[in-house]
A and B are shown apart, each in its own frame.
Chain A
Amino acid sequence: MSWFRENWRIAALVVLVVASSVALFAPGIGASANTSGQQAATGDPTNLNYGLELSGGVRLRTTVTGVTADGVSVTPDNEGEIATRISTALDVDRGDVRARPATGSVEVYQNVSTSSLRTTLEDAGYSPDSVRRGVTQATRDNIVSIIGSKIDATGLGGAEVKDIETSAGAQAHYIVVEVPGQNASQVQSLIQGRGQVTLDAYYPGSNGTNVNATVLRGDELVEVDQPKRDQNGRPFVPVQLSAEAAQRFTGDMTQYGFTSQAGISNCRFPNGGYCLLTKLDGEEVYNASMGPTLARTLSSGKFVNNPSFRITANSMTAARNLQVNLQAGALPAEITVQNSYYVAPSFAQKYKPLSLVTGLAAAIAVAIMVLLRYGEPKIAIPMVFTALAEVVILLGFAAVSGLALDLSHLAGFIAVIGTGVDDLVIIADEVMTEQVSSSRIFQSRFRKALWVIGAAAATTILAMSPLAVLSLGDLRGFALVTILGVLIGVLVTRPAYGDVLRRLLTTDT
């Protein structure tokens, strides 16, 4: 037990190194286990995940075009009216204006000035608290989900779409799209490409055959929202029509018999019945039957007052696909690519061994310097091993956490080796100034060395922390790895090196 108390740092170091090695090399461990197919294909023996820079692919950072007024008294009753008024006043399409009762905000998905939106709202009798560039969280979530579905639909694996916030700058939000193995223009056209969508009525004609008639065009669906669940837990997609379309839709549906007893809840596509078909580029992608509630509002003529209906789906995935199809893959607002990065997979894969060789060469340079300086292998060899142990622990951490390694992280590893060796030199010199005989003298010297190391580590961590918080893309990974490495170094590995030296240099333990 006392042995453990004396040597717990060495024990902790050994445990961490072993655990990290297991995490790195044992199959089926870590976040890369679920992408093992990919891993087998690249022939990488470790469990490490690699980011775009080391595996190849595309990263687009985009901003959403739009202006948003917050603090507007929007209610479910006046939302349509506000949107129509603003779109007319600003001379933009009705589909480019969105009033949201939930957040009390009005968005315009066009490049209009903030002052003109404010004036327009005030002219209409509303008093917005603030008007800013950008769009609401709901719109961004919607865009992220649409892009995600579109990329999924093409079967490209490993893609990632996310909304990130930066702490400074004019555009505070970026939608980041990462797709491995594709090139930038392919991904860009995939995201921005759109098709032709129509809603067709499918019903039994007078001569016994089934009739197909287009009742709504894509641009008449002014709002298609993200899927929600009704009180019974059924997923649905809310759709809102323009005023003229609502008038015509009411007439058509009544005329074709959808509101009659036979028309309600009676879709047997493609074997007859009454269905509302969603068609993308002429292909049927979804069919739904008339609901009793909608049929009632249609026949009573109340539909035109609030021209919205729900299309229910059997699962959330189906609802999401339907939503993307209803919008013909179009995004509610335009996105602008601010930054694109592409690296060919074959080229990126080469970086892996090359940067490994670079790192090894730097480590060998350190080892040679240390050996030349101290001459004594008792000091130099544990020093080199301790420095390498820090890297192994960091890599083990990366494997377990599923961190996608990029060149910036590798730069961080090098920074860690650098500060690590500095600290080990401080420890070695401190304890060797005079002949160390007793463990007690050793301890006091060692504590003095730790003060310097702790102070230096604190400054390094402090210097790196702004980068870890600011969203500076590539530099964030670098800063996080450096901070983590310094922490592991100060708390575990560097003190353990002190213990190793004590065991090697003193006689009374």
Chain B
Amino acid sequence: MSWFEVPDVDLSQYSMRQLVAPPLAVLVVALAVIGGWMAATGAPVSPGIEFTGGSEVVAQSSAPSAQVKAAFDAEPTSFRSVGTNGNRYLATFQSENAPGISGDTADIEIVQSQEVSPTFGSSTQGLALLGVAAAFLGMSVLVFALFRTFVPSIAVVVSAFSDIVVPVALMNVFEIKLSLGTVAALLMLIGYSVDSDILLNNHVLRRSGGFWESVDRAMNTGVTMTLTSIAAMVVMTIVSYIFGITLMSSIGLVLVMGLVTDLMNTYMLNVTLLRWYKFEGVAK
């Protein structure tokens, strides 16, 4: 007996328009958020110091947070506590060199620091953008090579695109800055997103059986996969947040957002594109 069943959703009772509207609306909203962000700040998502240059320190102190913040010689651009045991603080500064600590500093210890020059940051940013673009392009080419038909291939590519764009928009909403960790998460999303899309396409295009039967089987497997990944990432995000491992918690959070988006995109957008291809596109 299994206690967790993939819910049996009968997608065929909805019209194509009904199914495709929500994911497209979400994608449009996400693009609008990113576009608005770009108009306001000049970048699609706020880059962290790894890309802009600046400095960041983790200070450990039993003193109250306001006192720790005031101890730095320069005003931090952001200052927050990390972990849940309440005595570690992450302070970010605009200047390339982390400021010193003055005043009553007996019990403030700098346990971690990072300084990035603006030139190094912009070259890292260039490389990261190049990396994401190359990864996305490579994935698209391979998907087209695997399926050799336009509609099913473009369905995978559009889903993957939306799986990346929606988390990026959400990063702006939740004020998560783009770091090397979140870039890694966006790249992982390409991999995860394509997994369930390929599975769906494979079941519909390469297997015998009716369209809805194939979709049901693919969904059964695919939803299990994605929910398992979401469960793992939610746990990782919470646990690493408690421990104050910021790299892991930001990767986890971006992945959770992307995987949830992927559930919607695969079984609403991708399914509908395949349905159109099977019932109308091919018949012509």
Is there contact, CB below 8 Å, between B199 and A459? Answer: no
A339 & B117 in contact (Cβ 8 Å cutoff): yes
- Please tell me if A421 contacts chain B, counting CB pairs below 8 Å: yes
Q: Which residues of A contact B146 (CB under 8 A)?
A: 455, 458
Q: What CA separation (Å) do A147 and B119 show in the bound complex?
A: 23
B60 touches A347 (CB 8 A): yes
Q: A166-174, A191-199, A254-262: which lies at the B interface?
A: A166-174
A504 within 8 A of B: no
Given contacts A362-B232, A472-B128, A343 and B112 within 8 Å (CB-CB)? yes
Q: Which residue of B lies closest to A60 (CB)?
A: B115
Option from A365, A374, A375, A407 in Cβ contact (under 8 Å) with B231: A365
| Complex: A484 Cα to B187 Cα, angstroms | 16
Q: Inside 8 A of A465's CB, which chain B residues have their CB?
A: 135, 138
Q: For the complex, is B217 an interface residue (Cβ under 8 Å from A)?
A: yes
What secondary structure prevails in chain A residues at the interface with B?
A: helix
Main DSSP-derived SS at the B contact region:
helix
10 A-B interface contacts by CB (under 8 A): A342-B110, A343-B112, A355-B245, A373-B224, A411-B181, A455-B146, A455-B202, A459-B191, A470-B127, A471-B127
Give the residues in chain B near A348, CB-CB below 8 Å.
112
A358 to B187, CA, bound (A): 21
B139 A462 Cβ-Cβ under 8 A = yes
Tell whether, in the assembled complex, residue B109 and residue A375 are in contact, meaning their CB atoms are under 8 Å apart. no
Assuming the contacts A365-B234, A411-B247, A466-B138, asked whether A472 and B194 have C-beta atoms less than 8 A apart, the reply is: no
Contact indicator A467/B131 (Cβ below 8 Å): yes
CA distance A451 to B1 in the complex (A): 29
Given A347-B60, A365-B234, A451-B202, CB of A462 within 8 Å of CB of B142: yes
Query: Which of B187-242 touch A at CB < 8 Å?
Result: 187-188, 190-192, 194-196, 198-199, 202, 206-207, 217, 220-221, 224-225, 227-229, 231-236, 239-240
Interface residues of A in 125-152 (CB under 8 A from B): none
- Are the C-beta atoms of A169 and B126 separated by less than 8 Å? yes
Residue A460 at the chain B interface, CB threshold 8 Å: yes
- The contact size tier of chain B is 35 or more
Q: In this assembly, does B243 line the interface, its C-beta being within 8 Å of a C-beta of chain A?
A: yes
A473 within 8 Å of B by Cβ? yes
Decide yes or no whether B176 CB sits under 8 A from chain A.
Answer: no
List the A side residues contacting B110 at CB < 8 Å.
342, 344
Counting CB contacts under 8 A, is B174 at the interface?
Answer: no
Contact (Cβ within 8 A) A464 B135: yes
Report the Cα distance A223→B137, complex, angstroms.
Answer: 50
Interface 1/0 per residue, B130-150 and A, CB below 8 Å: 110011101100110010000
Closest to A472 in B: B127
Query: In the assembled complex, how far is the CB of residue A484 from the closest CB belonging to chain B, in whole angstroms?
Result: 14
Alpha-carbon distance A373/B127, docked complex (angstroms): 41
Query: Which one of A336, A341, A408, A452 contacts B114 once the chains associate, using CB atoms below 8 Å?
Result: A341
A344-B59 Cα distance, complex, nearest whole Å: 11
Check B228–A425 contact: CB distance below 8 A: yes
Which of the 9-residue segments A69-77, A205-213, A412-420 touches chain B? A412-420
Known A-B contacts: A369-B227, A414-B232. Give 20 more (CB < 8 A).
A167-B127, A169-B126, A339-B116, A365-B234, A366-B228, A369-B224, A369-B231, A408-B184, A414-B251, A418-B188, A419-B191, A421-B228, A430-B221, A452-B199, A456-B199, A459-B139, A462-B138, A463-B136, A463-B194, A475-B183
Enumerate chain A residues within 8 angstroms of B243, measured Cβ to Cβ: 354-355, 357-358
Instruction: Decide if B248 is an interface residue (CB 8 Å cutoff).
Output: yes
Q: Which residues of B contact A (CB under 8 A)?
A: 1-6, 58, 60, 109-117, 119-120, 123-124, 126-128, 130-131, 134-136, 138-139, 142-143, 146, 180-181, 183-184, 187-188, 190-192, 194-196, 198-199, 202, 206-207, 217, 220-221, 224-225, 227-229, 231-236, 239-240, 243, 245, 247-248, 251
Assess whether A418 is in contact with B229, with CB atoms less than 8 Å apart. yes
Alpha-carbon distance between A451 and B180 when the two chains are bound, in angstroms: 32
Known contacts A365-B235, A421-B225; A344/B199 CB under 8 A: no
Given A411-B184, A422-B229, A425-B221, residue A463 in contact with residue B114 (CB < 8 A): no
Do A340 and B114 have beta carbons less than 8 Å apart?
A: yes
Chain B nearest CB: distance from A220 CB in Å?
34
- Asked if A407 and B245 sit within 8 Å, CB to CB, the answer is yes
